Chain A
Amino acid sequence: MIDLVFKSVIIGALAGAGAAGGAARMYHAPEVQGMGSFRTLGEMNACNGDPISHFSYGLGFIFSSAGDVVGMGALSSNVLHRIVPNWSAAFSVLGFKDGEAYKNPAKMTIMGAIVGAVVVTFLNTLASFVPTTMAQIASNVVSPAATLLLNPVLPVAFWLAALSAGKEHGTYATIFGIIAQFVMENAAPGCILGILIGQSVQDTGLKSKRSISMLLFVSAMFFIIAYFRGLLPF
Protein backbone atom coordinates (compact mmCIF):
# COMPACT_ATOMS: atom_id res chain seq x y z
CA MET A 1 0.00 0.00 0.00
CA ILE A 2 2.79 2.45 0.89
CA ASP A 3 4.56 1.41 -2.28
CA LEU A 4 1.42 2.12 -4.30
CA VAL A 5 0.90 5.54 -2.70
CA PHE A 6 4.54 6.49 -3.19
CA LYS A 7 4.53 5.54 -6.87
CA SER A 8 1.12 7.16 -7.44
CA VAL A 9 2.40 10.47 -6.08
CA ILE A 10 5.37 10.41 -8.45
CA ILE A 11 3.27 9.48 -11.48
CA GLY A 12 0.56 11.99 -10.68
CA ALA A 13 2.99 14.84 -10.10
CA LEU A 14 4.89 14.21 -13.33
CA ALA A 15 1.89 13.66 -15.59
CA GLY A 16 -0.10 16.44 -13.90
CA ALA A 17 2.71 18.97 -14.30
CA GLY A 18 3.09 18.14 -17.99
CA ALA A 19 -0.63 18.18 -18.73
CA ALA A 20 -1.33 21.45 -16.90
CA GLY A 21 1.74 23.21 -18.30
CA GLY A 22 0.85 22.02 -21.79
CA ALA A 23 -2.74 23.17 -21.32
CA ALA A 24 -1.62 26.68 -20.39
CA ARG A 25 0.62 26.76 -23.46
CA MET A 26 -2.42 25.97 -25.64
CA TYR A 27 -3.59 29.55 -25.06
CA HIS A 28 -0.47 30.73 -26.87
CA ALA A 29 -0.68 28.28 -29.81
CA PRO A 30 0.18 28.12 -32.63
CA GLU A 31 3.17 30.41 -31.97
CA VAL A 32 4.05 28.27 -28.94
CA GLN A 33 3.71 24.47 -29.19
CA GLY A 34 0.98 23.49 -26.72
CA MET A 35 -0.41 20.14 -25.74
CA GLY A 36 -3.78 18.95 -24.56
CA SER A 37 -6.62 18.89 -27.05
CA PHE A 38 -8.95 21.29 -28.81
CA ARG A 39 -11.76 19.89 -26.71
CA THR A 40 -9.90 20.72 -23.49
CA LEU A 41 -9.18 24.23 -24.72
CA GLY A 42 -12.83 24.74 -25.60
CA GLU A 43 -14.00 23.49 -22.23
CA MET A 44 -11.47 25.64 -20.38
CA ASN A 45 -12.59 28.65 -22.41
CA ALA A 46 -16.16 27.94 -21.36
CA CYS A 47 -15.10 28.22 -17.70
CA ASN A 48 -13.08 31.34 -18.57
CA GLY A 49 -10.88 31.52 -15.47
CA ASP A 50 -13.72 31.34 -12.96
CA PRO A 51 -12.34 29.08 -10.20
CA ILE A 52 -15.71 27.66 -9.20
CA SER A 53 -16.65 26.78 -12.79
CA HIS A 54 -13.28 25.11 -13.41
CA PHE A 55 -13.45 23.19 -10.15
CA SER A 56 -16.99 21.91 -10.54
CA TYR A 57 -16.39 20.95 -14.16
CA GLY A 58 -13.43 18.78 -13.10
CA LEU A 59 -15.33 17.38 -10.13
CA GLY A 60 -18.01 15.96 -12.42
CA PHE A 61 -15.40 13.69 -13.97
CA ILE A 62 -13.94 12.46 -10.67
CA PHE A 63 -16.91 10.16 -10.17
CA SER A 64 -16.83 8.56 -13.60
CA SER A 65 -13.05 8.17 -13.31
CA ALA A 66 -13.53 6.51 -9.93
CA GLY A 67 -15.92 4.04 -11.55
CA ASP A 68 -13.40 3.22 -14.26
CA VAL A 69 -10.46 2.74 -11.93
CA VAL A 70 -12.40 0.60 -9.46
CA GLY A 71 -13.72 -1.60 -12.24
CA MET A 72 -10.85 -1.80 -14.67
CA GLY A 73 -7.78 -0.10 -13.21
CA ALA A 74 -7.80 2.71 -15.76
CA LEU A 75 -8.08 6.29 -14.53
CA SER A 76 -9.77 7.27 -17.82
CA SER A 77 -8.48 9.96 -20.13
CA ASN A 78 -10.58 12.49 -18.21
CA VAL A 79 -7.88 12.80 -15.53
CA LEU A 80 -5.35 14.45 -17.85
CA HIS A 81 -7.86 15.91 -20.32
CA ARG A 82 -10.26 17.50 -17.88
CA ILE A 83 -9.66 17.12 -14.15
CA VAL A 84 -6.01 18.18 -14.03
CA PRO A 85 -6.25 21.15 -16.43
CA ASN A 86 -9.43 22.54 -14.87
CA TRP A 87 -8.50 22.01 -11.25
CA SER A 88 -5.04 23.40 -11.87
CA ALA A 89 -6.69 26.42 -13.47
CA ALA A 90 -9.01 26.86 -10.49
CA PHE A 91 -6.23 26.60 -7.91
CA SER A 92 -3.77 28.70 -9.92
CA VAL A 93 -6.23 31.56 -10.14
CA LEU A 94 -6.94 31.29 -6.39
CA GLY A 95 -3.44 30.39 -5.17
CA PHE A 96 -1.48 32.98 -7.15
CA LYS A 97 -4.23 35.61 -6.80
CA ASP A 98 -3.97 36.16 -10.54
CA GLY A 99 -7.05 36.04 -12.76
CA GLU A 100 -4.95 35.10 -15.80
CA ALA A 101 -2.87 32.42 -14.03
CA TYR A 102 -4.53 29.62 -16.00
CA LYS A 103 -2.85 30.95 -19.16
CA ASN A 104 0.56 31.00 -17.46
CA PRO A 105 2.51 27.76 -18.11
CA ALA A 106 4.88 28.24 -15.16
CA LYS A 107 2.11 28.65 -12.60
CA MET A 108 0.01 25.90 -14.14
CA THR A 109 2.91 23.43 -14.18
CA ILE A 110 3.47 23.88 -10.44
CA MET A 111 -0.22 23.59 -9.62
CA GLY A 112 -0.61 20.66 -12.03
CA ALA A 113 2.04 18.67 -10.16
CA ILE A 114 0.16 19.09 -6.89
CA VAL A 115 -3.31 18.42 -8.36
CA GLY A 116 -2.02 15.42 -10.35
CA ALA A 117 -0.32 13.85 -7.33
CA VAL A 118 -3.44 14.19 -5.17
CA VAL A 119 -5.96 13.04 -7.80
CA VAL A 120 -3.96 10.05 -9.06
CA THR A 121 -3.13 8.87 -5.52
CA PHE A 122 -6.74 9.23 -4.41
CA LEU A 123 -8.11 7.27 -7.38
CA ASN A 124 -5.44 4.55 -7.24
CA THR A 125 -5.85 3.86 -3.53
CA LEU A 126 -9.64 3.94 -3.85
CA ALA A 127 -9.44 0.91 -6.12
CA SER A 128 -7.51 -1.15 -3.57
CA PHE A 129 -10.43 -1.06 -1.10
CA VAL A 130 -12.57 -3.12 -3.45
CA PRO A 131 -13.30 -6.74 -2.36
CA THR A 132 -11.72 -9.44 -4.52
CA THR A 133 -15.09 -10.94 -5.50
CA MET A 134 -16.09 -7.57 -6.95
CA ALA A 135 -12.83 -7.36 -8.86
CA GLN A 136 -13.49 -10.86 -10.20
CA ILE A 137 -16.92 -9.79 -11.45
CA ALA A 138 -15.36 -6.83 -13.22
CA SER A 139 -12.73 -8.93 -14.90
CA ASN A 140 -15.33 -11.52 -16.02
CA VAL A 141 -17.43 -8.77 -17.57
CA VAL A 142 -14.56 -6.92 -19.18
CA SER A 143 -12.39 -9.72 -20.51
CA PRO A 144 -14.75 -11.11 -23.20
CA ALA A 145 -15.61 -7.58 -24.30
CA ALA A 146 -11.91 -6.77 -24.64
CA THR A 147 -11.33 -9.83 -26.80
CA LEU A 148 -14.12 -8.73 -29.14
CA LEU A 149 -12.79 -5.20 -29.16
CA LEU A 150 -9.40 -6.30 -30.47
CA ASN A 151 -10.99 -8.58 -33.01
CA PRO A 152 -13.27 -7.90 -34.90
CA VAL A 153 -14.37 -4.42 -33.73
CA LEU A 154 -10.99 -2.72 -34.13
CA PRO A 155 -10.24 -3.82 -37.71
CA VAL A 156 -13.86 -3.40 -38.82
CA ALA A 157 -14.06 0.16 -37.46
CA PHE A 158 -10.93 1.21 -39.37
CA TRP A 159 -11.99 -0.70 -42.46
CA LEU A 160 -15.38 1.01 -42.53
CA ALA A 161 -13.78 4.40 -41.92
CA ALA A 162 -11.43 3.77 -44.85
CA LEU A 163 -14.19 2.60 -47.19
CA SER A 164 -16.35 5.62 -46.44
CA ALA A 165 -13.43 8.06 -46.69
CA GLY A 166 -12.92 7.60 -50.43
CA LYS A 167 -11.77 5.46 -53.34
CA GLU A 168 -8.04 5.52 -52.57
CA HIS A 169 -8.44 5.06 -48.78
CA GLY A 170 -10.73 2.07 -49.26
CA THR A 171 -8.50 0.49 -51.90
CA TYR A 172 -5.25 0.59 -49.93
CA ALA A 173 -6.90 -0.23 -46.60
CA THR A 174 -8.40 -3.33 -48.21
CA ILE A 175 -5.13 -4.44 -49.82
CA PHE A 176 -3.06 -3.98 -46.67
CA GLY A 177 -5.87 -5.06 -44.35
CA ILE A 178 -6.03 -8.47 -46.02
CA ILE A 179 -2.27 -8.86 -45.92
CA ALA A 180 -2.15 -7.76 -42.26
CA GLN A 181 -4.83 -10.30 -41.33
CA PHE A 182 -2.72 -13.04 -42.91
CA VAL A 183 0.62 -11.82 -41.63
CA MET A 184 -0.29 -10.51 -38.15
CA GLU A 185 -3.65 -12.19 -37.51
CA ASN A 186 -5.27 -8.77 -37.18
CA ALA A 187 -6.24 -6.49 -40.03
CA ALA A 188 -6.17 -3.25 -38.01
CA PRO A 189 -2.55 -2.20 -38.64
CA GLY A 190 -3.02 -2.78 -42.37
CA CYS A 191 -6.21 -0.75 -42.50
CA ILE A 192 -4.60 2.13 -40.59
CA LEU A 193 -1.55 2.21 -42.84
CA GLY A 194 -3.87 1.85 -45.82
CA ILE A 195 -5.71 5.01 -44.74
CA LEU A 196 -2.44 6.93 -44.52
CA ILE A 197 -1.29 5.67 -47.93
CA GLY A 198 -4.71 6.32 -49.45
CA GLN A 199 -4.65 9.91 -48.20
CA SER A 200 -1.21 10.38 -49.68
CA VAL A 201 -2.26 8.95 -53.06
CA GLN A 202 -5.35 11.15 -53.08
CA ASP A 203 -3.39 14.30 -52.17
CA THR A 204 -0.22 13.88 -54.18
CA GLY A 205 -0.86 11.03 -56.64
CA LEU A 206 0.48 7.50 -56.78
CA LYS A 207 3.78 8.49 -58.36
CA SER A 208 4.73 11.12 -55.80
CA LYS A 209 7.81 10.62 -53.66
CA ARG A 210 5.70 10.51 -50.50
CA SER A 211 3.29 7.82 -51.79
CA ILE A 212 6.02 5.60 -53.22
CA SER A 213 8.19 5.77 -50.10
CA MET A 214 5.20 5.00 -47.87
CA LEU A 215 4.20 2.03 -50.05
CA LEU A 216 7.75 0.68 -50.07
CA PHE A 217 8.17 1.17 -46.34
CA VAL A 218 4.92 -0.59 -45.43
CA SER A 219 5.51 -3.43 -47.91
CA ALA A 220 9.01 -4.00 -46.55
CA MET A 221 7.70 -3.98 -42.98
CA PHE A 222 5.01 -6.56 -43.77
CA PHE A 223 7.52 -8.68 -45.64
CA ILE A 224 9.91 -8.70 -42.67
CA ILE A 225 7.14 -9.59 -40.21
CA ALA A 226 5.93 -12.38 -42.49
CA TYR A 227 9.47 -13.72 -42.76
CA PHE A 228 10.04 -13.78 -39.00
CA ARG A 229 6.68 -15.44 -38.42
CA GLY A 230 7.68 -18.22 -40.79
CA LEU A 231 4.94 -17.44 -43.33
CA LEU A 232 7.28 -17.29 -46.31
CA PRO A 233 8.43 -20.55 -47.92
CA PHE A 234 12.13 -19.67 -47.72
Chain B
Amino acid sequence: MNSKIEKFFMSESAFIVLMAMICSGVFAGSSLFLEYRVGFLNGVSISVMLEEAVKTGVYTALIGYTGGFLFARILEGPLVGILDIGGGVMTGVGGGMPALFLSMGLDVLIKNFWVSLIVGALIGIVLSCIILVIRKLMPNGYGTMGTEIMVGAGNTIGTWFGPMLLISAITFDLYAGLGAMLGAVICHRKKSPIIGGITLGAMIVGYVAYLLGLTTLGIGV
Protein backbone atom coordinates (compact mmCIF):
# COMPACT_ATOMS: atom_id res chain seq x y z
CA MET B 1 0.00 0.00 0.00
CA ASN B 2 1.09 3.55 -0.74
CA SER B 3 3.13 4.83 2.20
CA LYS B 4 1.73 8.37 1.70
CA ILE B 5 -1.76 7.06 2.46
CA GLU B 6 -0.47 5.09 5.43
CA LYS B 7 1.21 8.20 6.80
CA PHE B 8 -2.00 10.21 6.39
CA PHE B 9 -3.93 7.70 8.47
CA MET B 10 -1.59 8.34 11.40
CA SER B 11 -2.12 12.12 11.23
CA GLU B 12 -4.45 14.37 13.22
CA SER B 13 -6.58 15.10 10.15
CA ALA B 14 -7.20 11.37 9.80
CA PHE B 15 -8.69 11.39 13.30
CA ILE B 16 -11.18 14.00 12.12
CA VAL B 17 -12.00 11.89 9.06
CA LEU B 18 -12.45 8.72 11.11
CA MET B 19 -14.63 10.54 13.66
CA ALA B 20 -16.74 12.03 10.87
CA MET B 21 -17.27 8.54 9.45
CA ILE B 22 -18.11 6.76 12.69
CA CYS B 23 -20.39 9.56 13.95
CA SER B 24 -22.15 9.72 10.59
CA GLY B 25 -22.74 5.96 10.65
CA VAL B 26 -23.87 5.84 14.27
CA PHE B 27 -26.12 8.90 14.01
CA ALA B 28 -27.71 7.63 10.78
CA GLY B 29 -28.10 4.28 12.53
CA SER B 30 -30.34 6.04 15.03
CA SER B 31 -32.26 7.51 12.10
CA LEU B 32 -32.73 4.00 10.72
CA PHE B 33 -33.84 2.87 14.17
CA LEU B 34 -36.56 5.51 14.30
CA GLU B 35 -37.69 4.49 10.80
CA TYR B 36 -37.46 0.68 10.86
CA ARG B 37 -36.83 -0.12 14.53
CA VAL B 38 -33.52 -1.80 13.66
CA GLY B 39 -29.97 -0.62 13.21
CA PHE B 40 -29.29 1.23 16.46
CA LEU B 41 -25.53 0.93 16.90
CA ASN B 42 -25.59 0.72 20.68
CA GLY B 43 -26.75 -1.35 23.61
CA VAL B 44 -30.41 -2.14 24.15
CA SER B 45 -30.72 -0.02 27.28
CA ILE B 46 -30.15 3.17 25.27
CA SER B 47 -32.37 2.10 22.36
CA VAL B 48 -35.35 1.39 24.62
CA MET B 49 -34.80 4.64 26.49
CA LEU B 50 -34.83 6.52 23.18
CA GLU B 51 -37.93 4.69 22.03
CA GLU B 52 -39.67 5.41 25.33
CA ALA B 53 -38.65 9.07 25.18
CA VAL B 54 -40.02 9.38 21.64
CA LYS B 55 -43.27 7.76 22.79
CA THR B 56 -43.72 10.04 25.80
CA GLY B 57 -42.05 13.15 24.43
CA VAL B 58 -39.98 13.52 27.63
CA TYR B 59 -36.30 13.72 26.71
CA THR B 60 -34.66 15.31 29.75
CA ALA B 61 -33.47 12.12 31.47
CA LEU B 62 -32.04 10.67 28.28
CA ILE B 63 -30.28 13.90 27.32
CA GLY B 64 -28.85 14.25 30.82
CA TYR B 65 -27.61 10.69 30.90
CA THR B 66 -26.14 10.52 27.40
CA GLY B 67 -24.90 14.10 27.50
CA GLY B 68 -23.04 13.39 30.72
CA PHE B 69 -21.34 10.43 29.10
CA LEU B 70 -20.43 12.42 26.00
CA PHE B 71 -19.03 15.27 28.08
CA ALA B 72 -16.98 12.94 30.26
CA ARG B 73 -15.56 10.92 27.36
CA ILE B 74 -14.70 13.97 25.27
CA LEU B 75 -12.66 15.33 28.20
CA GLU B 76 -11.09 11.99 28.99
CA GLY B 77 -10.29 10.98 25.38
CA PRO B 78 -7.50 13.48 24.71
CA LEU B 79 -5.98 12.99 28.17
CA VAL B 80 -5.48 9.24 27.82
CA GLY B 81 -5.07 9.15 24.03
CA ILE B 82 -8.01 6.80 23.48
CA LEU B 83 -11.52 8.15 22.96
CA ASP B 84 -14.06 5.69 24.33
CA ILE B 85 -16.47 5.18 21.45
CA GLY B 86 -18.99 3.42 23.73
CA GLY B 87 -19.82 6.43 25.88
CA GLY B 88 -18.60 9.10 23.47
CA VAL B 89 -19.93 8.06 20.09
CA MET B 90 -22.46 5.26 20.55
CA THR B 91 -24.20 6.68 23.63
CA GLY B 92 -23.45 10.37 23.23
CA VAL B 93 -23.89 10.79 19.47
CA GLY B 94 -26.21 7.84 18.80
CA GLY B 95 -28.52 8.33 21.77
CA GLY B 96 -28.01 11.85 23.07
CA MET B 97 -27.90 13.91 19.87
CA PRO B 98 -31.15 12.48 18.41
CA ALA B 99 -32.87 13.09 21.75
CA LEU B 100 -31.52 16.64 21.85
CA PHE B 101 -32.68 17.43 18.30
CA LEU B 102 -36.09 15.80 18.79
CA SER B 103 -36.64 17.69 22.05
CA MET B 104 -35.86 20.93 20.21
CA GLY B 105 -38.32 20.08 17.44
CA LEU B 106 -35.54 19.71 14.85
CA ASP B 107 -36.96 16.37 13.68
CA VAL B 108 -35.67 16.66 10.12
CA LEU B 109 -32.04 16.46 11.28
CA ILE B 110 -32.56 12.90 12.50
CA LYS B 111 -35.66 11.63 10.70
CA ASN B 112 -34.39 12.24 7.16
CA PHE B 113 -31.76 9.57 6.52
CA TRP B 114 -29.62 11.59 4.08
CA VAL B 115 -29.68 14.67 6.27
CA SER B 116 -28.78 12.53 9.27
CA LEU B 117 -25.65 11.24 7.48
CA ILE B 118 -24.44 14.81 6.98
CA VAL B 119 -25.44 15.95 10.48
CA GLY B 120 -23.65 12.95 11.98
CA ALA B 121 -20.49 13.72 10.03
CA LEU B 122 -20.62 17.36 11.16
CA ILE B 123 -21.03 16.27 14.79
CA GLY B 124 -17.98 14.03 14.36
CA ILE B 125 -15.92 16.85 12.89
CA VAL B 126 -16.85 19.24 15.72
CA LEU B 127 -16.18 16.67 18.45
CA SER B 128 -12.84 15.58 16.99
CA CYS B 129 -11.73 19.22 16.68
CA ILE B 130 -12.64 19.79 20.35
CA ILE B 131 -10.64 16.70 21.31
CA LEU B 132 -7.60 17.79 19.30
CA VAL B 133 -7.77 21.30 20.82
CA ILE B 134 -7.97 19.86 24.36
CA ARG B 135 -4.95 17.69 23.54
CA LYS B 136 -3.00 20.83 22.72
CA LEU B 137 -4.27 22.95 25.62
CA MET B 138 -4.06 20.47 28.47
CA PRO B 139 -0.99 18.27 28.11
CA ASN B 140 -1.10 17.38 31.79
CA GLY B 141 -4.82 17.61 32.11
CA TYR B 142 -7.28 18.29 34.84
CA GLY B 143 -7.10 14.83 36.35
CA THR B 144 -10.10 12.59 36.06
CA MET B 145 -12.99 15.10 36.13
CA GLY B 146 -15.00 12.44 37.95
CA THR B 147 -15.50 10.42 34.77
CA GLU B 148 -14.81 7.07 36.39
CA ILE B 149 -17.66 7.65 38.88
CA MET B 150 -20.07 8.31 36.03
CA VAL B 151 -18.89 5.34 34.01
CA GLY B 152 -19.34 3.14 37.07
CA ALA B 153 -22.92 4.34 37.48
CA GLY B 154 -23.54 3.85 33.77
CA ASN B 155 -22.43 0.26 34.02
CA THR B 156 -24.65 -0.27 37.06
CA ILE B 157 -27.65 0.75 34.96
CA GLY B 158 -26.74 -1.81 32.33
CA THR B 159 -26.65 -4.57 34.90
CA TRP B 160 -30.08 -3.55 36.31
CA PHE B 161 -31.68 -3.98 32.94
CA GLY B 162 -31.56 -7.79 32.85
CA PRO B 163 -33.42 -8.46 36.13
CA MET B 164 -35.95 -5.75 35.30
CA LEU B 165 -36.66 -7.38 31.94
CA LEU B 166 -37.26 -10.68 33.76
CA ILE B 167 -39.74 -9.03 36.14
CA SER B 168 -41.41 -7.28 33.24
CA ALA B 169 -41.64 -10.50 31.19
CA ILE B 170 -43.33 -12.57 33.89
CA THR B 171 -45.67 -9.67 34.72
CA PHE B 172 -46.71 -9.52 31.07
CA ASP B 173 -47.32 -13.21 30.45
CA LEU B 174 -46.59 -16.57 32.13
CA TYR B 175 -45.11 -18.22 29.04
CA ALA B 176 -43.10 -15.18 27.99
CA GLY B 177 -41.78 -15.05 31.55
CA LEU B 178 -40.81 -18.71 31.60
CA GLY B 179 -39.09 -18.30 28.24
CA ALA B 180 -37.23 -15.27 29.54
CA MET B 181 -36.15 -17.26 32.59
CA LEU B 182 -34.90 -20.11 30.39
CA GLY B 183 -32.99 -17.74 28.11
CA ALA B 184 -31.41 -15.95 31.05
CA VAL B 185 -30.34 -19.21 32.71
CA ILE B 186 -28.78 -20.53 29.49
CA CYS B 187 -26.89 -17.29 28.84
CA HIS B 188 -25.79 -16.99 32.45
CA ARG B 189 -24.40 -20.51 32.51
CA LYS B 190 -22.59 -19.84 29.24
CA LYS B 191 -21.19 -16.69 30.85
CA SER B 192 -22.63 -14.34 28.22
CA PRO B 193 -24.83 -11.25 28.85
CA ILE B 194 -28.36 -12.32 29.78
CA ILE B 195 -30.32 -9.55 28.03
CA GLY B 196 -30.24 -11.18 24.58
CA GLY B 197 -31.27 -14.53 26.06
CA ILE B 198 -34.16 -12.97 27.98
CA THR B 199 -35.76 -11.34 24.95
CA LEU B 200 -35.15 -14.25 22.61
CA GLY B 201 -36.48 -16.73 25.19
CA ALA B 202 -39.58 -14.64 25.89
CA MET B 203 -40.26 -14.22 22.18
CA ILE B 204 -39.78 -17.84 21.20
CA VAL B 205 -41.59 -19.53 24.11
CA GLY B 206 -44.29 -16.84 24.16
CA TYR B 207 -44.84 -17.25 20.42
CA VAL B 208 -45.01 -21.04 20.58
CA ALA B 209 -47.49 -20.85 23.47
CA TYR B 210 -49.54 -18.37 21.46
CA LEU B 211 -49.57 -20.64 18.40
CA LEU B 212 -50.59 -23.62 20.59
CA GLY B 213 -53.44 -21.56 22.01
CA LEU B 214 -52.10 -21.65 25.56
CA THR B 215 -52.18 -17.88 25.90
CA THR B 216 -53.68 -14.94 24.02
CA LEU B 217 -50.88 -12.58 25.10
CA GLY B 218 -53.62 -9.99 25.49
CA ILE B 219 -53.52 -9.45 21.73
CA GLY B 220 -55.48 -10.68 18.76
CA VAL B 221 -58.49 -11.77 20.84
Contacts and interface: CB of A to CB of B under 8 A. Distances in A.
Given A74-B42, A186-B60, A199-B146, A29 B81 contact: yes
A49 interface: no
A36 B85 contact: yes
B10 A28 contact: yes
A54 interface: no
Interface in A185-227: 185-186, 188-190, 192-193, 195-196, 198-200, 203, 210
Given A142-B168, A151-B61, A153-B164, A128 B85 contact: no
Interface string A51-74: 000000000100111111111111
Given A74-B40, A160-B153, A18 B21 contact: yes
A195 B22 contact: no
Contacts of B160: 149, 153, 157
Nearest to A159: B153
| Interface residues of B, dominant DSSP | helix
B164 A149 contact: yes
Most A Cβ at <10 Å: residue of B8, B60, B176, B202: B60
B31 to A, nearest CB: 8
Given A22-B85, A35-B15, A145-B48, 8 more contacts: A34-B82, A74-B33, A76-B42, A128-B36, A134-B207, A145-B165, A192-B65, A199-B144
Interface of A: 4, 7-8, 10-19, 21-22, 24-26, 28-38, 41, 60, 63-77, 79-81, 96, 104-107, 109, 116, 120, 123-124, 127-128, 130-131, 133-138, 140-151, 153-155, 157-158, 160-162, 165, 169, 180, 184-186, 188-190, 192-193, 195-196, 198-200, 203, 210
